[in-house]
Amino acid sequence: MTDENDKRPGDGEPSEIRSVSITDEMRRSYLDYAMSVIVSRALPDARDGLKPVHRRIIYSMYENGHTPEKKYVKSANIVGAVMGQYHPHGDQAIYFALVRMAQFFSMRLMLVDGQGNFGSVDGDMPAAMRYTESRMSKAAVALIDDIDKDTVDFQDNYDGTRQEPTVLPAQFPNLLVNGAGGIAVGMATNIPPHNLGEVVDACLAYIENPGITIDELTEIIPGPDFPTGAQIIGRSGIRAAYQTGRGSIIMRATAAVEEIRRDREAIVVTELPYQVNKATLQENIAELVRDKRLEGISDVRDESDRKGMRLVIELKRDAVGDVVLNQLYRFTQLQTNFGCNMVALNGGKPEVLNLKDFITAFVDFREEVISRRTKFLLNKARDRAHILCGLATAVANIDEVIRIIRTSPDPNVAREALMGRDWPTGDIAPLILLVDDPKHPMNPDGTYRLSEAQARAILDLRLARLTALGRDEIGEELQKLADQIRDYLDILRSRARIMGIVRSELEAIKAAHATPRLTQILDSDADFEDEDLIQREDMVVTVSHAGYVKRVPLSTYRAQRRGGKGRAGMQTREEDFVTRLFVANTHTPVLFFSSKGRVYKEKVWRLPLATPQGRGKALINLLPIEGDERITSIMPLPEDENSWSTLHIMFATSSGSVRRNDLSDFVQVNRAGKIAMKLEEGEQICDVSICTESDDIVLTTAEGQCIRFPVGEVRVFKGRDSMGVRGIRLEEGDTIISMAVIRHMEITPEERATYFRMRRAVLGEAESGEAENGEEEAAGPVEISTERYAELSAAEQFILTVSENGYGKRTSAFEYRITGRGGKGIVAMAVNERNGPLVSSWPVEPSDQIMLVTDGGQLIRCPVEGIRVVSRGSQGVIVFNTAEGERVVSVERISDDGEEDEPATE
């Protein structure tokens, strides 16, 4: 026998199990969930700019009387009421929503007036809800005002026990003023805050001209106005957001470089971009400094107080404030983007709205609110006027009314009797026609019957109202209501009057709550390169033997005549001395070649700025070179890297090898450097120069030999790790001291001898010092034309050669005959005990000036034209009167800057 409890659904009884497609069920459930999140949680309504949680908080505070004129109440009280009556979610979600509405750095116009710790821009958490107190702000009252006048629809709360508004009446466009952010399912919103006064002006402009364009609205609302102030860089992102609803707005902190002490500067940040955490920013900067991604910063401290924000970033002595600030903008949240994604619920559906859509939605909503409010007030006035018409009728027929009441056994009978007869209207007939209920119309004979509400009011009439004063009060109130009803009817019949009311209420809101703009909008481009902030200025770059480098403005040095004693150019230690000096613009890129054949790249302005007596900074602290690696050659390059493709770079090593590469091979040199040339043991790069196919190379040795050959004799190497080819055959113990690039010129020995004689005649010189020797002296004279002489004169270059003991000479490049690559060469300058070994040899112009530096740090600047032009084998003249025990280690050419020479210092 089977027990009834063992019966299965298939045993004759109807089953509750249905077959459902899991695909359809998942699709339906997901869509239901997604729409629930979109509509009921994450997206704001375009009309009042609020999400459901914010709307419920404000409505609950209004309903419980937590208005601005009342005392503060515990936030926990408010959260509990909202959670229990309207928002059945976690208390923390409600509290954090309340907290945000009370944060001055989150809301452009705060909707909650908070008392206590509501968090900070440092990311500090607010105090627990049991410790803070809140109430509505005056702006929140403007959002909910008139909600009791049937201006908006209501719906059941989550358990059906109460009614809550679907939207607040909102007297100002809160969505634009305070912005919104949220992530829904499959969509998100991020709307920036704006200035109330500007938004109201835009709404007024739209009311005046509904056909106004977005560009015209943008002239009224130039851009967002963030509660933290700061700056907006550029207007393209704003235009895109306002036109399409999507755009990226560049926000930048308000910062300035200030002098905090006599020799120290600091970057002081007073305003941060919207939603940037100050404490996290400070930690970020410190971390970037530790990782050496940011240079020039010595300290970061927060000096903010009740008076305002002040984040101080102290700089090192040699740091350029504007450059460091630009790097901070690039690497930290001192500059960040606000990604506008202006999605809101419009008509209950999520839409991407442009600026005009937001304003249109709000103005249309306010028009509806004013219409509904007017209808509500009209009906309320009619209800009251209806009662007053009955009372006026009773007062006019008081004797009959009293008789009916006295003869009636009870109030119900009296009420029926009053309602059952026709009463004359008398003087109030026009008012009855205006205000009476259509369900109780007047009869054709001018009489009408009282309604139940009127009869009850007559029965409740106090005897004091029957006096003359009471009768007048009824008449005056009725007349006043009649005027109001006429006005309400006129409003409802005229859209112009409704829009006039919208306009006047917006103007009142602006007068009560508008504040000046906080965020400054700049038209300049945000993407500055660091060097864009550096003034173009000629710098003298000095490098010491120990690897210290510095730059000093060229204007610091004044010219002296040949033979002067110079001035201190660099403070060096006993074991250190200056080995390299050149002049370049602050924007000039410089290649640094190391003893291991690597190359590094920096701009001149990145080198440490110092005084003429300053030591500078070690290259090992500027470049990522290894401990046993040192910089052996430094080469300034053309500023325009696009021109590098037509140029070549020639390497010369100490052992006499040369190699040619395309200069474009060195455009991209990362921070870690790259291989420049493969070197043999003990070999190093002694010089690097830029050249073209129309140039010749002159290699000069310390022992006074030189060789000249065309650039074309050295093929272009495609790799950077090759060793090159022989340039000159050196004697034992000799080494290359310089490589000069000069213009190629075809000239025979005979032409050269004739040219020198003709030039002496033109110049009227008795002795030029260009006495030819060897092959040149043996050459017979030839005739050359005037045109050929002019051509040779224009092409002639003079090579300056300087020795360690300060002697130098200029020699025509025509004397440096081409002998072919790989030979022993010819004499460049006499090397003896008087002169000492050679230091440098390169072409100069008569208008040039040169700067010579000794290993003791002494420096002289003198014009080239004061140095005699003599033959190759001459010993030269004294250029630098060096101190005993010192030797010249570096010579640099300086273009004429127009300064007057000073007398030599003895």
* Whether the Cβ atoms of residue 813 and residue 798 lie closer than 8 Å to each other: yes
What are the CA-CA distances from residue 740 to residues 476, 686, 711 (Å)?
A: 111, 12, 11
Q: Between 904 and 398, where is the model more confident?
A: 398
Residues forming CATH 2.120.10.90 domain(s) in the chain: 534-744+797-894
Q: Give me the DSSP letters along 486-517.
A: HHHHHHHH-HHHHHHHHHHHHHHHHHHH----
In the set 86, 131, 488, 807, the catalytic residue is: 131
Percent of the chain with pLDDT over 90: 41
Residues forming CATH 1.10.268.10 domain(s) in the chain: 363-511
The domain defined by 254-333 carries CATH number 3.30.1360.40? yes
Detail the DSSP E strand segments found in 49-139: 73-74, 112-115, 133-136
Average model confidence (pLDDT) for the chain? 85
543-547, 584-588, 879-883: segment of lowest average pLDDT: 543-547
Measured between alpha carbons, how far is 479 from 178 in angstroms, rounded to an integer?
Answer: 44
Amino acid at position 657, single letter: S
- Does 338 have pLDDT greater than 80? yes
Residue 484 has a pLDDT of 92
Classify the C-alpha dihedral 242-243-244-246 as positive or negative: negative
154-163, 430-439, 455-464: segment of lowest average pLDDT: 430-439
Residue 697 has a pLDDT of 93
Amino acid at position 78, single letter: I
Residue 435 has a pLDDT of 66
Please list, in sequence order, all residues whose beta carbon lies within 8 angstroms of the beta carbon of residue 786, skipping any fewer than 6 positions away: none
50-169 sits in which CATH class?
Answer: alpha beta
Q: How many CA atoms lie within 13 A of 325 on its CB side?
A: 21
Measured between alpha carbons, how far is 281 from 277 in angstroms, rounded to an integer?
Answer: 6
Helix (H, G, I), strand (E, B) or coil at 190: strand
Is pTM beyond 0.95? Reply is no
Amino acid at position 440, single letter: H
Percent of the chain with pLDDT over 70: 89
Which numeric CATH code is attached to 363-511? Answer: 1.10.268.10
Question: From the DSSP assignment, how many helices (H) and strands (E) are in the chain?
Answer: 22, 43
Band (pLDDT 50/70/90 cuts) for residue 772 is very low
**Could you give phi then psi for residue 205, rounded to 5 degrees?**
-65, -40
Helices 786-795, 749-763: axis angle to 10 degrees equals: 90
- What does the pLDDT look like over 638-667, one tens digit per residue? 777 677 777 888 998 888 999 998 888 887
Is residue 131 annotated as a catalytic residue, yes or no? yes
- What does the pLDDT look like over 110-166, one tens digit per residue? 999 999 999 999 999 999 999 999 999 999 999 999 999 999 999 999 999 999 999
Detail the DSSP E strand segments found in 781-824: 798-803, 807-812
- What does the pLDDT look like over 548-604, one tens digit per residue? 888 888 877 765 555 555 555 555 554 465 667 778 888 888 888 887 788 888 888
* Whether the Cβ atoms of residue 510 and residue 197 lie closer than 8 Å to each other: yes
Residue 573 has a pLDDT of 53
Residue 445 has a pLDDT of 74
Burial of 618 (0-12, 13-18, 19+ CB in 10 A): middle
Residues forming CATH 3.30.1360.40 domain(s) in the chain: 254-333
- What does the pLDDT look like over 287-328, one tens digit per residue? 999 988 888 899 999 999 988 999 999 998 878 888 889 889
116-125, 447-456, 459-468, 526-535: segment of lowest average pLDDT: 526-535
- Of 168, 224, 186, 251, whose CA–CA distance to 38 is shortest? 186
Measured between alpha carbons, how far is 211 from 205 in angstroms, rounded to an integer?
Answer: 10
136 φ/ψ sector (left φ>0, alpha ψ -120 to 50, else beta)? beta
Which numeric CATH code is attached to 534-744+797-894? Answer: 2.120.10.90
* Whether the Cβ atoms of residue 904 and residue 845 lie closer than 8 Å to each other: no
The alpha carbons of the chain give a radius of gyration, in whole angstroms, of 47
Over range 249-264, report the average pLDDT. 89
Residue 439 has a pLDDT of 54
Residue 501 has a pLDDT of 96
